[in-house]
Amino acid sequence: MTAHQEALTGEHRGEPGTDTASAAASATTPATARADGARHLLSVSDLGAEGIEEVLRVSDAFVEVSKRVIPKVPALRGKTVVTLFVEESTRTKLSFETAAKRLSADVLSFNATSSSLKKGESLRDTVETIAAMGVDAFVVRHSAAGAPAAVARWVDTCVLNAGDGWHEHPTQALLDCCTIRQVLAERDGRMVAETGVECFKGLRVAIVGDIRHSRVARSNVLAFSALGAQVTLVAPGTLLPPAVEAWPVAGVSHDLDEVLPETDVCYLLRLQAERGVGGFLPSVREYAAAYGLNARRAAALADGALVMHPGPMNRGVEIADEVPDLPLSVILRQVANGVAVRMAVLFMLLGTPRDESPAGALAGLEDAWETGGG
């Protein structure tokens, strides 16, 4: 079994701090998946640096597929993927469904707003009912942290976390890493396929915004720090997470202007105004004044810096209207890479036999691609 395949089996391990009690207790916590059962991607920590690099390399192949006339491969033909989105989402859902379809999987789309959940059916009953129809993977988005982990406990099917509350959004972090690697390689005049993840070592990343409530921030901090980047969190006092000193980051700042000149990647989080700004911030205006990336601040970034955003953007709040169109913004490339990265993850979880590496499985598909994905 390759390192990534081991890492992708459902055991959810976290290592906050050096609390021996935590270590002892987590050793006695029951595993979230049987070792010989379904594989999952619930957290970036399921992957580790090696696993992340493997996903990026497999994504290279699918970036290439997406550029073809018929951007489709038969890798997951006959497999059924269910998108179980209990929390509203348009872009991530479309991205996953597109990815699954380009792999020739059958896609079932379950939308909580028009479903039995409204009639009072429990999530568990919903999931077990769908699983009984014979599906191969659940892609789960839910407003409660840990919901995908619960699904993985209830059914013997592959579970992919598409965003659970404030906890994680692993494929977002992966597509962000994919984008950074791609852009930095191009800027250095090199082929992406020839680069590994060395570009992350010492890379200075600033994540700006509502860190406390952000699953994107949690996944990105795990991914970037695993790859050796130096992450600084920039946020007002109320929007930092508790016990932030235990996070694997290089620093925390309340002063965006001070951090910008030392920043190679400026990653902006959406201010979730629907959350009730009054409780955490006096006003959106005050937030935008102190933490919004406008053109002046973008110009203050280090040479060659990138501006990123997971979307959807609040123009005029965390990002000024003119910034996404500047050359240093790679926001649209993030979106484009999203499909390829999700294809890679689905392929690695569903299309790769246990005793084979993804590279081997990919090679086996070469012929199919040559004939246009028939």
- Which stretches of the chain bind other proteins, using CB under 8 A? 12-14, 16-17, 19-26, 28-32, 122-124, 142-147, 149-150, 164-168, 215, 218, 241-244, 246-247
Report whether 307 contacts 301 (CB < 8 A): yes
Q: Among residues 9 and 179, whose Cβ is nearest to other proteins?
A: 9
In whole angstroms, how close is the CB of 59 to other proteins at the nearest point? 25
d(CA 144, CA 155): 18
Q: Among residues 161 and 232, whose Cβ is nearest to other proteins?
A: 161
In whole angstroms, how close is the CB of 19 to other proteins at the nearest point? 6
Q: Among residues 99 and 217, whose Cβ is nearest to other proteins?
A: 217
In whole angstroms, how close is the CB of 32 to other proteins at the nearest point? 5
In whole angstroms, how close is the CB of 243 to other proteins at the nearest point? 4
In whole angstroms, how close is the CB of 245 to other proteins at the nearest point? 9
In whole angstroms, how close is the CB of 138 to other proteins at the nearest point? 14
Of the candidates 168, 260, 169, 166, the one whose C-alpha atom is nearest the C-alpha of residue 207 is 260
In whole angstroms, how close is the CB of 54 to other proteins at the nearest point? 24
Q: Among residues 25 and 193, whose Cβ is nearest to other proteins?
A: 25
Q: Among residues 20 and 90, whose Cβ is nearest to other proteins?
A: 20
Q: Among residues 214 and 232, whose Cβ is nearest to other proteins?
A: 214
In whole angstroms, how close is the CB of 255 to other proteins at the nearest point? 22
Of the candidates 81, 96, 78, the one whose C-alpha atom is nearest the C-alpha of residue 137 is 81
Q: Give the per-residue SS3 of the chain.
A: CCHHHHHHECCCCCCCCCCHHHHHHHHHCCCCCCCCCCEEECCHHHCHHHHHHHHHHHHHHHHHHHCCCCCCCCCCCCCEEEEEECCCCCHHHHHHHHHHHHCCCEEEEEEHHHCHHHHCCCHHHHHHHHHHCCCCEEEEEECCCCHHHHHHHHCCCEEEEEEECCCECHHHHHHHHHHHHHHHHHHCCCCHHHCCCHHHCCCEEEEECCCCCCHHHHHHHHHHHHCCCEEEEECCHHHCCCCHHHCCCCEEECCHHHHHHHCCEEEECCCCHHHCHHHHCCCHHHHHHHHCECHHHHHCCCCCCEEECCCCCCECCCECCCHHHCCCECHHHHHHHHHHHHHHHHHHHHHCCCCCCHHHHHHHHHHHHHCCCC
Burial of 145 (0-12, 13-18, 19+ CB in 10 A): middle
In whole angstroms, how close is the CB of 281 to other proteins at the nearest point? 17
Q: Among residues 60 and 164, whose Cβ is nearest to other proteins?
A: 164
Q: Among residues 31 and 290, whose Cβ is nearest to other proteins?
A: 31
Q: Among residues 21 and 133, whose Cβ is nearest to other proteins?
A: 21
